[in-house]
Amino acid sequence: MKTATPLLLLLLTACVFPDRGPAATTAMVEPTGDTLLLHEPGVENAYPRLSQDGTRILYQSDRTGTWQLFIMDIATGAQQRITHDAHNNNFVDWSADNEWVAFVSDRDGNEEIYRMRTDGRDMERLTTDAARDIHPYFSPDGKYLLFNSTRGNGSLDVYRLDLATRELLRLTDTPMEETCARYSPDMKHIVLLRNDATRDDVVILDLSTGLVDDLTRTPTVTDGWPMYSADGRWIYYSTMASGRHSIHRVHPDGTGDEVITQAAPGEEDGRAFIGRDGHTLIYNKRHGGAIDIRRVHVR
């Protein structure tokens, strides 16, 4: 694998947009059809990914005692296990054409990035480093994989892997933890989670200028798992702004923040995934020692 290209680094600490001031007022969206898709007592079924046609969900589950990967048919509830080993396979993502699955596995004694066909064929290891490599996300065109690694300075930074050439490009270099990076539909920006030890904020990185825009600016509040809608109009994310992890969405310019779900006491809503239709949203609800997969319809 080729090494990172230092000259192309985008230094987040040097290029930050001016603070826009307090976040905009949050409105409440009234989603419809909040439906439980998967619940197993004491089992965590996490990181759901909706197929392009909206009929299947790729996810990870600890029901076997280790993290394994499954695909569920929404209409029938039938579940297909696609990893079969005693190791942990997690942080799963689906390519836009649903032909490939990227995931993290500790099968070689360290967390590394792998990919395979949806049916388990053609598995290959994509990273080889003593550091921690996690959170792989495919680019919309399928050519690249974004992931996070501690290989640079000990904190998690964002890297881009060219799947054809294996060229590795480091996109961030700060002492902060930068995770869950995903491309915008036009691949001109990346939305990610940035932790500076006092807060977790959702930020947008402009790949042409290196400028970083803080969308959520929520002091002492934890945000997480941001994702662009397919048309680029919204970023869906989870936040504890109300005191409990709930799903919100906001425009990329920081306006129009809206509440999608309101978690009840003792619950946490997170890991939202918005479908290609812009209306079908699946997410995780943690409660009672389990993580469920649920679906809502948003306008």
Q: Is the pLDDT of residue 191 over 50?
A: yes
pLDDT band at residue 8 using 50, 70 and 90 as cut-offs = very low
What domain range is 63 assigned to?
6-17+26-297
Alpha carbon separation from 78 to 85, 152, 178, 229 (Å, rounded)? 20, 42, 36, 27
* Range from 12-21, 76-85, 88-97, 288-297 carrying the lowest mean pLDDT: 12-21
pLDDT at 272 exceeding the cut of 50: yes
Question: Which pLDDT value is given to residue 12?
Answer: 38
Per-residue confidence (pLDDT) for residue 84, from 0 to 100: 94
Phi and psi at residue 154, to the nearest 5°: 95, -25
The percent of residues in the chain predicted with pLDDT above 70, rounded, is: 91
Summary mean pLDDT of the chain: 90
On whether residue 45 sits in a domain, the answer given is yes
Q: What is the pLDDT of residue 256?
A: 94
Q: What would the mean pLDDT of 171-186 be, rounded to a whole number?
A: 96
Residue 27: Cβ within 10 Å count = 10
| Residue in the block written with tokens 């699946």 | 282
Confidence tier at 15 by pLDDT (50, 70, 90): very low
For residue 1, tell me if it sits in a domain: no
DSSP reduced 3-state for 287 = strand
What is the rounded average pLDDT of the residues 7-25? Answer: 41
pTM, two decimal places: 0.90
Cα torsion angle, 88, 94, 99, 102, sign: negative
In a domain, 182, yes or no: yes
Burial 185-198 (b: 16+ CB within 10 A, else e): eeeebbbbbbbeee
Q: How confident is the model at residue 13 (pLDDT cuts 50, 70, 90)?
A: very low
Report the alpha-carbon distance of residue 222 to residue 218 in Å, rounded: 8
Total structural domains within the chain: 1
Q: Give residue 198's pLDDT.
A: 73
Predicted pLDDT of residue 25: 55
For 6, the 3-state DSSP assignment is helix
**How confident is the model at residue 20, as a pLDDT?**
46
Rounded CA-CA distance 26/261 in Å is 12
pLDDT value at position 10? 43
Find out whether 222 and 245 touch, Cβ atoms under 8 Å: yes
181-185, 220-224, 290-294: range with lowest mean pLDDT: 220-224
Rounded average pLDDT over 251-271: 95
In this prediction, residue 196 carries a pLDDT of 77
Q: Which CATH number goes with the domain that contains 185?
A: 2.120.10.30
- Per-residue pLDDT, 7: 32
Q: What pLDDT, in 10s, does the model give residues 141-168?
A: 999 999 999 999 899 999 999 999 999 9
d(CA 27, CA 82): 40
**Assigned domain for 59 exists:** yes
**Closest C-alpha among 202, 183, 195, 90 to residue 142:** 183
pLDDT (tens digit per residue) in 97-114: 999 999 999 999 999 999
Q: How far apart are alpha carbons 231 and 102 in whole angstroms?
A: 23
What pLDDT shows up at residue 22? 42
Give the contacts of 216 (CB within 8 A, at least 6 positions apart). Answer: 23, 201, 202, 223, 237, 239, 241, 250
Q: Can you give the pLDDT at residue 1?
A: 56
**Chain segment 256-265, per-residue pLDDT in tens:** 999 999 999 9
- Strand partners of residue 246: 239
Task: Name which residue leads in pLDDT, 160 or 25.
Answer: 160
Residues in the chain: 299
Would you say residue 79 has pLDDT above 70?
A: yes
Q: Which residues of 203-232 are buried (b: 16+ CB within 10 A; e: fewer)?
A: bbbbeeebbbbbbbbbeebbbbbbbbbbee
Return the sign of the alpha-carbon dihedral for residues 222, 225, 229, 233.
Answer: positive
In this prediction, residue 31 carries a pLDDT of 73
Overall average pLDDT of the 273-294 stretch: 97
Tell whether 229 is covered by a domain: yes
Note the pLDDT of residue 218: 75
